[in-house]
Structure 1
Amino acid sequence: MSGLALATAFSGGALAQTGSDPADRDEGDAIIVTGTRSQGREALKSSAPVDVVDAQKLAATGYPDLGRALNFLQPAVNFARPATTATAANVRPITLRGLSPDQTLVLVNGKRRHANAILNVNNSIGRGTAAVDLDAIPASAIARIEVLRDGAAAQYGSDAIAGVVNIILKSDAQGGSISLQGGATEEGDGENGTAMLTYGLRLGDEGHLTLSALYRIEEPTNRALVDQRFGRVTYRIGDPKSEVGSLALDFAAPLGSGEIYGFGTYTHKRSNNGAGFRVPGFSPLYPWGFLPIIEPTIDDAAATLGYRIYLGDRWKADLSQTWGYNDAHFRVFDTANVSLGLASPTAFDAGTVTYQQFVTDAVLSRPLDGVLAGGNIALGGQYRHETYEIGNGEPAAYSGTGADGFAGFNPRNPTDAGRNAWAAFADLELRPVAELLLGGALRYDHYDDFGGKLTWRATGRLDLIDGFALRGTIGTGFKAPSLQQQYFSAVQGALSGATLVTVGTLPVSDPVSRALGASPLKAERSRNVTAGVVVTPTPRLSLTADFYHIRIRDRIALSEQLGGAAVTAILQAAGIANFQQARFFTNAVDTTTKGVEVSARWRGDLGPETRFDLGLGYGIFDTRLDRLRANPVLPTLPLLGLKSILLLTQGQPEDKFTAQLTLTHGPVDLQVNYAAFGKYQSLPLTQQQAFPGKSTTDAALGYTAGALRIVGGVQNLFDVRPQEIVYTAAAIASTGGSFPTGEETPIGLNGRTWYARVALRF
């Protein structure tokens, strides 16, 4: 068998390497590699809902990063874009079905992607999580994205509670493209420019090497209101100033009787973020007040090398090694450590966090063509090694009250942690008759720091008549506590009245945490059920509807900062005299999420040269708090406050509707994207507030002449803004009424934005 035929025959990782252009087929007809290890499965023929978003759809949004693009294309995806928290604003994960970012597993070409080193400890969506940064994968390298809206831990392991996002890289063997895009908001800020390049070439007769690059620069936006205390704008609230450079490659080539393959990405980004304004008199170095600037520099890299081969006539083997690396170094300037008085520096090295992941995968699979009406079986194993380190900032950054804005990393004890995990799985799909597809998966994962977990998944699909099918899944899942959640440690000083007190975010193993009721973290446990219908009355019209129910036990959350006389007394009784406040991670929460998701796709001709393509989607996402466990040591102090509970349950839109329309007439095309986000609730400052739903419309007009394409577009055509915060006197006293809205808004703060793009294929 030739190397090219071998690559095409492989399911899973092999299909992820194919060089076909997904734009040549309907998304419902696209061959998927997510949620199944059978080859040749179409999205609409799957047992679970799988959405396919190709590169053309992503580019048509005009958004330079994947998070925002998917947010306006996929009902199940939410991408809240914090405007004031430096760690959250510079790591861009997504959520599925209103759950947490780290409850969605991200794959690249079917291989597990590494998480961020940065732990979100801010009061924003994803508080307490370290998720995958989609912005570290260059858009220029992406052929398509497959979104599995179903729990799949039994197939892929930890984190796949809400679903799986599989990013398939381009694998062209010849030709390439280059594009330039620029834009700005209508208010005149946020100027941005993006350059993307992709080039493919052959390796021998049957191999390929595809190279991609991206460079993006963005100026900041600021939607801060006038500070009523001083009669001027004092805050920076909006997108940070940023610079991103990314590279990617994908290759495959025959080697012996099999094929060697590999892919990798590297991203370097830096951003400039404003912290909270410090009022006049806060530091003698700044008599008029000051706005600290936090500047993280992030390096992210990943690489996979693998080999696949037939063993005998039917068995296929795939062995691969994947490495992932994320390093974030923080600097803070235009600030001061007020406890150092006039001797304080105005710039500080705030320290570094680093995360690495090594994953070895081995999979054996074969089709069951001679068994009943066919099927597939797969067996495999995985070994994963992870490490997590915290590098201290300079002493001046964390001594006393610390550098204002960000006191940096100051672990109570040196943090250099690691762990190993092993897994084995079996995956079977079988057709008793041609119209019935049954599947089952069983997986056992063992972590050397908290033990083992067995998960299972059962799937089924029944094609009752031509064009009408029932589908459903049921299974269990889990999310292992991350190293970041287990070992993050930061200690700093704070003023309580006129007294300097010590506060910290500490590991559950720390004596301070243990004295205050912390216990070793357990894995989150889930039970997922999905049931739906697929209707395809004609090849150009499809409709799907699915009900889902996700029950999660022992959700991991970051506690509130516990302090007060009772805390001090407990710590002193335990012989700890130098701590007054602390917070830690806890398995304190049980939740249930349920809803309905509906999608429709209709394509047709309006004339000899005129075509249309209409896609609709709607989802309901209802998360309820089932149980909040009390702290056994401090039952009168809740582990989670109202703000944290709302972020878990009601901080994301309760429903969402999306529509995408493409009209093409000869060389001219018009693309319109509409997204309507439902209401959500938050506690933005001092009181709970319900934010009504908002909708936005994006439009782009394109012209294609041979290899040249020109596009002009507008995002948020009608300049829709999120609901403003209702201010109390206390909130005005603390912030001056500067914040226009909360951090949870899904439509962002920028308002109407214009852009233009020119692209050339060669």
Structure 2
Amino acid sequence: MLLATAAVAQEQDVELAEVVVVGSRGTPRLVTESASPIDLIDGEQLRATGFNDLSKALQFLAPSVNFPRSATAPSAANTRGVTLRGLSPDQVLVLVDGKRRHASSVLNFNNVVGRGTVPVDLNTIPLAAVERVEILRDGAAAQYGSDAIAGVVNIVLRGADSQSFTSLQGGATENGDGESAILAAGTSFDLREGSITVTAESRYRDFTNSAGIDSRVGRITNRQGDPESLDLGLVVNARLPLGDNDLYGNIIVSQRDSESAAQYRAPNVSPLYPDGFLPLIELDMLDMAATVGWSRPLSAWTLDVSNTFGSNRADFKVGDSVNTSLGTSSPTSFDAGGTRYQQNVLGVTLTRPLDVLSGANLAFGLESRYEMFEIDSGEPASLLGAGAQGFPGFNPPSPIDESRSAWSAFVDAELHLTPAVTLGAAARYEDYDDFGDEITGKLSAMFKPTSVIAFRATGSTGFRAPSLQQQYFSTVSSQSSGGVLVNVGTFAVDDPVSRALGAQPLQAETSEHVSAGIVLTPMQGLTVSLDAFRIDIEDRIVLSESLSGPAVAAILQQAGITNASQVRFFTNAADTETEGYEITAAWRGTWLDAVRSALTLGYMSADTSLEQIKSNTVVPSVPLLGLASIDLLTEAQPEDKVTFSSMQSWGPWQLRVDVTRFGKYKNVPVLLEQEYGAVTTVDLGVDYELTPSMRLSVGVINATDAYPDKIAQRALLQGGSLQYSESGGLGSDGREYYARLWAGF
């Protein structure tokens, strides 16, 4: 027969692969048994894509995930977060083994998607150390705390059951740039009745460049693409049972050295560079996290106590540059300063099953969180006058060394009224010492009248506290304004300059999130789901438009600001509404009695509209948000997305085909708004089992050599050299090849 259901053993493996822990504090359950939509992506599937890092791999496998790929912005090009359902990167809560992950210290202050946000940098977690990723596509602030407005990404690390391995991968784009090399290894050691799992990864990628000829000088002057980067990562994951006690913990350390390009400066900028120059921004980043936990039975309850510490340090240097205010005596390289962020989360949770109701669960918890943010100023030569070209360096008016504390209490319950009906409820009270408190709640329900069909729905409120970076960040940076490079000053909310221009103390974002869906399992191995959602967010925290004009110039002059001509600050300026739906389908089985097959199809459509913009009451002639900023909130990400993945295995061979279609989007690349069309990319991979413990993989990424639409007004932007928008989803690297050798032991 052409199609056949999988063998019993394979069916059991499929069920085990679909078990998730995110979204509930009860026992692990199948994806199809969750009242909230959840995507589960296996670590092997992520690595099989051939992508260099976790964020890219997720983007091409999960329909609701987007990974905006800024190329020329020093902050956004080096610490890029993922988005969910078309919202902002900091509206996604990231967990590692169920514990809150710390954010980057670097705020995205450039004019790209995620502008003004502080994301969690997923690429600080080595892809080789990931066992699976669970994506909860639902509001979950009541369950997990602030930031979970769009949903939750839970990264599960490799544990004792993982096979020891070593692997080597190399690749490059068809254009000859973007050379990459990834060396990874992992193993586990017995520790009494427990284990320690160690994974190490070294990842290098040279820069890619899709810039065109600069009409002003007749040659390529810019870089547009991925930055050059070297990432070194080490993950240690341990568990040690001691009688009734269970000790566990992990350590994640990541070091990144990267180099990205600012925009080209013409020959008339400085006599030190008669042919013009391209400033290079160097990042030296150290990211560390450690979790230690203890759990044990306590009568009918289970007690879990854990502490998670996270730290991110980022130092910037500017090379091949000049400070024009210093004339010919200017140095050509500068220490631009850096940022520091630390977070410590102490949590206590009590859970118990309710024996009188099979499968029911009750949980209580307390959580204490401490955060610290610091800005180190750049050297004087990078700050004086016009400042270092490309990035004038961090230059807050006063030292930035801020901290805050927060605590929360929550209750989370699931109740199985009958085998067909499951109800859930959660509530959380969270109090911050710097801006106030919030209460959030969530209700969920699932009705499964037969094994073939299930109905599910959730309703929740959520919030996102303003980050320390958004409250206190201050610097001057070079930005493109109407195709012209200008120095823009970003000032803290409580800075006199910001207050004089209408800044108000930041409030928390608040949200209402409702979703409803249906899950079908019409045959063994086949699952289909459809979920619709609506997310209303009030008081969204955004970076204001770059404010300019006579009123702004007068305020800057009065404040003694000479190295910036435009001003921006953070504000609760916008209310938005996001509506959409998602469709997923997955089938696993065999055909021709020999070929094992896994097919997945996903579709997401999300439309974000601006419901209200608050006015600037102090300077009403200067709007807080213009079209460019509004588009970054509502239009700059693909309006829909399709993902299709096919894995066919027979004998020693395995063939993988991934197809991704990014929908249309809009932004303002120069002066006028532009709409960019949909684009489809196809990735191909072939694996061959050389021996039972050795596998060779070769593949091509973007086999169709697809590119996004070019900027229509690119002649106005750096002489036409910068050809592509930094919004959308695909990027501009073109076709890429890779080969990987994997050995298990």
1:336 is paired with a residue whose SS is coil
Contact 1:174–1:201 at 8 Å: present in 2 too? no
1:87 is paired with a residue whose SS is coil
Q: Aligned-residue CA RMSD in angstroms? A: 2.0
1:736 is paired with a residue whose SS is helix
Residues 352-404 of structure 1: CA deviation (Å, up to 9, x unaligned): 10000000010000001213x44000000100000000001100001000000
Tell me, in whole angstroms, the C-alpha distance in 2 between the residues paired with 1:203 and 1:23. 33
2:720 is paired with a residue whose SS is coil
Q: Which amino acid aligns with 2:237?
A: D
- For residue 505 of structure 2, what is the aligned residue in structure 1? 520
1:712 is paired with a residue whose SS is strand
1:403-482 equivalences under 5 Å are 403-482=388-467
Report whether the alignment pairs 1:602 with 2:587.
yes
The structure-2 alpha-carbon separation of the partners of 1:316 and 1:333, relative to structure 1 and needing over 3 Å to count, comes to same
Report whether the alignment pairs 1:229 with 2:212.
no
The structure-2 alpha-carbon separation of the partners of 1:493 and 1:676, relative to structure 1 and needing over 3 Å to count, comes to closer
Tell me, in whole angstroms, the C-alpha distance in 1 between the residues paired with 2:266 and 2:11. 54
More moved, 556-565 vs 439-448: 556-565
Q: CA deviation at 1:75?
A: 0.6
1:538-557 equivalences under 5 Å are 538-557=523-542
Residues 109-146 of structure 1: CA deviation (Å, up to 9, x unaligned): 00000000000010111000011000000111110000
1:187 is paired with a residue whose SS is coil
Q: CA deviation at 1:676?
A: 0.6
2:631 is paired with a residue whose SS is helix
Q: CA deviation at 1:25?
A: 2.9
1:26 is paired with a residue whose SS is helix
Contact 1:32–1:41 at 8 Å: present in 2 too? yes
710, 725, 738: which one aligns with 1:755: 738
Report whether the alignment pairs 1:282 with 2:269.
yes
The structure-2 alpha-carbon separation of the partners of 1:679 and 1:491, relative to structure 1 and needing over 3 Å to count, comes to closer
1:268 is paired with a residue whose SS is strand
Q: CA deviation at 1:581?
A: 3.9
The structure-2 alpha-carbon separation of the partners of 1:386 and 1:254, relative to structure 1 and needing over 3 Å to count, comes to same
168, 175, 196: which one aligns with 1:180: 168
Tell me, in whole angstroms, the C-alpha distance in 1 between the residues paired with 2:71 and 2:271. 28
Q: CA deviation at 1:671?
A: 0.4
Residues 220-243 of structure 1: CA deviation (Å, up to 9, x unaligned): 111110001111111111111111
Report whether the alignment pairs 1:309 with 2:296.
yes
TM-score by length of 1: 0.94
Contact 1:27–1:52 at 8 Å: present in 2 too? no
Tell me, in whole angstroms, the C-alpha distance in 1 between the residues paired with 2:305 and 2:63. 35
Tell me, in whole angstroms, the C-alpha distance in 2 between the residues paired with 1:161 and 1:569. 39
The structure-2 alpha-carbon separation of the partners of 1:681 and 1:502, relative to structure 1 and needing over 3 Å to count, comes to closer
1:290-309 equivalences under 5 Å are 290-309=277-296
Aligned residue pairs total 731
Report whether the alignment pairs 1:746 with 2:734.
no
Residues 516-544 of structure 1: CA deviation (Å, up to 9, x unaligned): 11111000000000100000112211100
Report whether the alignment pairs 1:377 with 2:362.
yes
Contact 1:22–1:144 at 8 Å: present in 2 too? no
- For residue 12 of structure 1, what is the aligned residue in structure 2? none
86, 104, 116: which one aligns with 1:116: 104
Tell me, in whole angstroms, the C-alpha distance in 1 between the residues paired with 2:601 and 2:480. 53
Tell me, in whole angstroms, the C-alpha distance in 2 between the residues paired with 1:22 and 1:420. 49
Residues 639-694 of structure 1: CA deviation (Å, up to 9, x unaligned): 11111110100000000111000111111010000001100001112221100000
User: Unmatched 5+ residue regions in structure 2?
Assistant: 1-8
Q: CA deviation at 1:175?
A: 4.7
2:216 is paired with a residue whose SS is coil
Q: CA deviation at 1:407?
A: 0.7
1:518-667 equivalences under 5 Å are 518-569=503-554, 576=559, 578=561, 581-667=566-652
Tell me, in whole angstroms, the C-alpha distance in 2 between the residues paired with 1:63 and 1:255. 40
- For residue 5 of structure 1, what is the aligned residue in structure 2? none
The structure-2 alpha-carbon separation of the partners of 1:527 and 1:342, relative to structure 1 and needing over 3 Å to count, comes to same
The structure-2 alpha-carbon separation of the partners of 1:99 and 1:28, relative to structure 1 and needing over 3 Å to count, comes to farther
Q: CA deviation at 1:38?
A: 0.8
The structure-2 alpha-carbon separation of the partners of 1:27 and 1:676, relative to structure 1 and needing over 3 Å to count, comes to farther
More moved, 162-171 vs 81-90: 81-90
The structure-2 alpha-carbon separation of the partners of 1:547 and 1:157, relative to structure 1 and needing over 3 Å to count, comes to same
Report whether the alignment pairs 1:103 with 2:88.
no
Q: Which amino acid aligns with 2:218?
A: G
Q: CA deviation at 1:738?
A: 0.6
Tell me, in whole angstroms, the C-alpha distance in 1 between the residues paired with 2:26 and 2:113. 36
More moved, 643-652 vs 631-640: 631-640
The structure-2 alpha-carbon separation of the partners of 1:44 and 1:502, relative to structure 1 and needing over 3 Å to count, comes to closer
Residues 207-256 of structure 1: CA deviation (Å, up to 9, x unaligned): 01000000011111111100011111111111111111000010010235
Q: Which amino acid aligns with 1:177?
A: F
Tell me, in whole angstroms, the C-alpha distance in 2 between the residues paired with 1:632 and 1:659. 49
1:122-137 equivalences under 5 Å are 122-137=110-125
Contact 2:662–2:728 at 8 Å: present in 1 too? no
Tell me, in whole angstroms, the C-alpha distance in 2 between the residues paired with 1:351 and 1:708. 46
Tell me, in whole angstroms, the C-alpha distance in 2 between the residues paired with 1:701 and 1:294. 38
Contact 1:29–1:44 at 8 Å: present in 2 too? no
The structure-2 alpha-carbon separation of the partners of 1:328 and 1:475, relative to structure 1 and needing over 3 Å to count, comes to same
- For residue 258 of structure 2, what is the aligned residue in structure 1? 271
User: Unmatched 5+ residue regions in structure 1?
Assistant: 1-20
Tell me, in whole angstroms, the C-alpha distance in 2 between the residues paired with 1:700 and 1:293. 35
152, 166, 170: which one aligns with 1:164: 152
Q: CA deviation at 1:90?
A: 1.1
Report whether the alignment pairs 1:215 with 2:198.
no
2:214 is paired with a residue whose SS is coil
More moved, 634-643 vs 225-234: 634-643
- For residue 699 of structure 2, what is the aligned residue in structure 1? 713
1:464 is paired with a residue whose SS is coil
Q: Which amino acid aligns with 1:278?
A: R
Contact 1:401–1:493 at 8 Å: present in 2 too? no
Q: CA deviation at 1:566?
A: 2.1
Q: Which amino acid aligns with 1:603?
A: R
292, 314, 318: which one aligns with 2:304: 318
- For residue 25 of structure 1, what is the aligned residue in structure 2? 13
Contact 1:317–1:365 at 8 Å: present in 2 too? yes
Contact 1:248–1:266 at 8 Å: present in 2 too? yes
Contact 1:401–1:494 at 8 Å: present in 2 too? no
Tell me, in whole angstroms, the C-alpha distance in 2 between the residues paired with 1:22 and 1:473. 32
1:179 is paired with a residue whose SS is strand
More moved, 430-439 vs 559-568: 559-568
- For residue 349 of structure 2, what is the aligned residue in structure 1? 363
Residues 562-619 of structure 1: CA deviation (Å, up to 9, x unaligned): 22212345678xx645476421100000000010100001112113321111100001
TM-score by length of 2: 0.96
2:112 is paired with a residue whose SS is coil
Tell me, in whole angstroms, the C-alpha distance in 2 between the residues paired with 1:554 and 1:514. 18
Q: CA deviation at 1:283?
A: 0.4
1:551 is paired with a residue whose SS is strand
Q: Which amino acid aligns with 2:542?
A: A
Q: CA deviation at 1:72?
A: 0.5
Query: % of aligned pairs identical?
Result: 48
Q: CA deviation at 1:504?
A: 2.4
- For residue 39 of structure 1, what is the aligned residue in structure 2? 27
2:265 is paired with a residue whose SS is coil
Contact 1:294–1:406 at 8 Å: present in 2 too? yes
Tell me, in whole angstroms, the C-alpha distance in 2 between the residues paired with 1:157 and 1:53. 24
- For residue 15 of structure 1, what is the aligned residue in structure 2? none
Contact 1:412–1:491 at 8 Å: present in 2 too? no
Q: Which amino acid aligns with 1:192?
A: S
Contact 2:389–2:478 at 8 Å: present in 1 too? no
- For residue 184 of structure 2, what is the aligned residue in structure 1? 196
Q: CA deviation at 1:417?
A: 0.2
